[in-house]
Structure 1
Amino acid sequence: MKAPKTRTEARHVVEALNTISKGRMVMDWNEITAGANPYVVMKTSNIPGKSVLEIPGLIFGDKHKPVSRIGVGMTLTESVIELASAMKLDLIIVHHPVADAASSGGVPFADYLPLYGLALIEMHEAFHGLHPGLTLLHGHHKLKTDICFGGIPGNVLHKGIALEEVKTTGDILARIDGLMGRDIDLDLLEAERAIRGEASLEEATLANPAQLLSGTPDSKVKHILHFFPHTGFSLEHLELALHMYPETDTIIVSISRVREDHVFVKYAKENGLNFIVGNPHSVEILENGLPLAYALEMLLPEVEIFLLRERITAVPLKEVGFQKMVEYGREMAGTHLVSGQPLAVQIN
C-alpha cells in the first residue's frame, strides 16, 4: 500500500526558504517587533508615508494554504499578479520588498490577492550573499563579501579575483554578453519591432548593455571590487574599499548603473583603474531568480515552479503601431481630458 502523498503548505515553502537562506527568514511574527531578525530592515528616503519594512517571510496568506504551483519573481506588480492568476498559481515569491497598493495596482493586498487565491512571500536582504553566481557571471571568484558595508544593510561589496580564463576587461564584457543570452533578446526585439511596426521600440535588458567606462578592452584584470551603486554605496565607501584592498585594478558595478560622468568613473580614471558597468537590474531575475527557483525545486520536488520574468519596453508615442488603440487614446485625450483647453501649453 502506497503512503499517502504529503500536502505542501505555505509554511513548508517558508521552511524551505529558511534552509536556503541559512536561517534568515522570519518564522515567528514576534521577530519583527522584537528586532530579533537583522534582515527585517526599514527602507526609506524620508518621504512621508513612503517607507517600507522588509520582512523576509510570509507577507500575505494562510500558512496552512495548500501549495502546488509557485511563481518566483523579482518585483511584485499588477502584471505579475494577473499572470499568476491566469496560470492558477498558489503562491508568489518575490525578491524585492512589497508594499500595499504600490505593489498591487493601487489597492490593498487584502482586496486583490484573495480574488486569485494567492499567498505572498518576500526575501530581499535575506537572499543577498548566499551564492557566488552574480560574481561568476561577471568573471571573478568572490573572496570576501560584506552585505552591510559601511554599516548600511544591503550595501553589498564583493572582493574578487579574476577567473583563470579572464585576462582583460574585454574578456569580462564578452563573458557577460555570451552568458546572458543577449543575442536571443535581440532577435526577439527585432521581430517585435517588425511585427508592431515600431522601429524605435526599446527593451530594458538590451537598452542597458555592459560597458567599459575606464580602461581599454585589452586592459589587464586580476583584482576586482564589485558593488551596486543603488544600495547607498558612496565615493567615501569606494575610497575605504580601495584602502582595504589596494591591489585592486578593476571596479565592476552592476544591477544599478552609473553614467560616464559619474564621480565613480572620474575617480577610476584619475587612479588608473578599469571601470566596468555590468548587468542591469532587469536581468536579476536570471542572476538571483533562477538559483532560487532551482533550489526550491530541489527541496520541494512535488511543487511546480515557474519563473516570472517581466519584459519592459518603450516606444515613442508617434510610433505606436496598433492603429485602433492610437485612435482610442487620441479620442479619450481630446474629448475628455483636454476638451476646451489650449492644444499646447504656453511656456514663458
Structure 2
Amino acid sequence: MNILQWWVIGELSVIVIGLSFLTVQIWRRARSQPGIRLVELPKTFTGCVAYVSRLGGLLMLIFLFVILERNILTVILETAPAPSHVPAPEEAGLEAEEVTFQSPGGPSIAGWFVPSKNGATIILLHGYGGNRTAMLWHAERLIEAGYGVLLYDERASGESEGGYRSYGWEDTRDVEAALQYLSTREDAADKVGIAGCSTGADIAVYSMALYPQLGAAWGDGNSSVRAQDMPPIRDWITMFLVPSNYMLDWMYTVRLGIDAPAPLVDVIDDIAPRPLMLVGGGVQRPVIGSEADLFTLRFAELAGPNAQAWIIPEAAHCDGPRVRPEEYAQKMVTFFDSALGIK
C-alpha cells in the first residue's frame, strides 16, 4: 500500500479510538452517578454561553487538527519524487530529439527538442507530478505553426533527476538552465517563449518575471505560489483556507530546507512590457468557486496592461484543449505570433 492509503487508515483509526474513548467516559459517568442524565443542558444564560463556547472550542480544535494533519500529508506527498515512464518520442507521435541538460547546482533534466522553422522556440511545462507527455497537445499545435519546442520533465518528475519536488519553488532554476541550453544550440531560435499548465503555468509566469530572455508567456490554470497569492478573506472558507496556506509555506521551507520565493503577486508586474496571456476555467468548483475568479482575473490585473485574460466558461482546470480545441490552438499560436513578432 502507498502512503495515502496508510494515512487514511491512520485517520480512521484515530476517529475510532477517539469515539471509543468518549463512549467509555460517558458510560463510566453514567455508572458512577445513577439517575444522572448523560447530557445535562445548562439552565442559565451564562451557563448556555459557557456551554456553547466550550463546544465551539472543541469543534475548532478538531478542525485545526484536521487542517494540520492534512497539511502534513500534503507536504509529504507533494515533495516526494514522482518518477514515471516516458515513451520514446516516436511512440508518442512526435519527431523530436531526446535531450538532457544540467540545472545549475541541481539535477539533470530530461526532455524533447524540436528545432524551429519560424525563428521562435517555446518551452513547455507540465502540471505537478506529471511528465512532458502532458504537453504533447500544445507541442503538436505549435510545431504545426512552425515553432520549435522544448518540453521537459520537471525536476524529480518523469525521467528527470532530483531527490525531491519543491512545488515549483526551485523549478525556475531549471527554466534558466533550459534557456542556457537553447543558447548553445545552433538550431535553436533566438526568440523564446514559454507556456505551462497548472504548476507548469506558475513556473512559466514566475520565470517571465525573472528572465528577460523570455519574450512571452502563456499560463493556463495558474494558482498560488505563496500564501500571499491567495485571494483576500471573503467568507468562512477562505477564513480557514488562507491561514492554512501560510502553514503550508512554513512546512515546505522546513521540509525542504530552502527559502521560500517571493509571492507571485509581488513580482508579476516585473513582466511588463512583455506580453502575458493567462487562461482560466470558469467552471464553479464546490465551495471555492472557479479558478478564474480565484486567480486568473486578479493576476492579470496585477500584471498590468501587457497581460490578457481568457476565461473559458465551460472549462475546468487546464481543460481548454478538450472543450475548445480549435479555438485554443488558434489563440495560442496567434498570441505567440504577435508577442514574438512572427510573420
TM range (shorter): under 0.3
| Higher RCO (CA < 8 A, seq sep 6+) | 1
Normalising by structure 2, report the TM-score. Answer: 0.26
TM-score between the two structures when normalised by the length of structure 1 = 0.26
Greater C-alpha Rg: 2
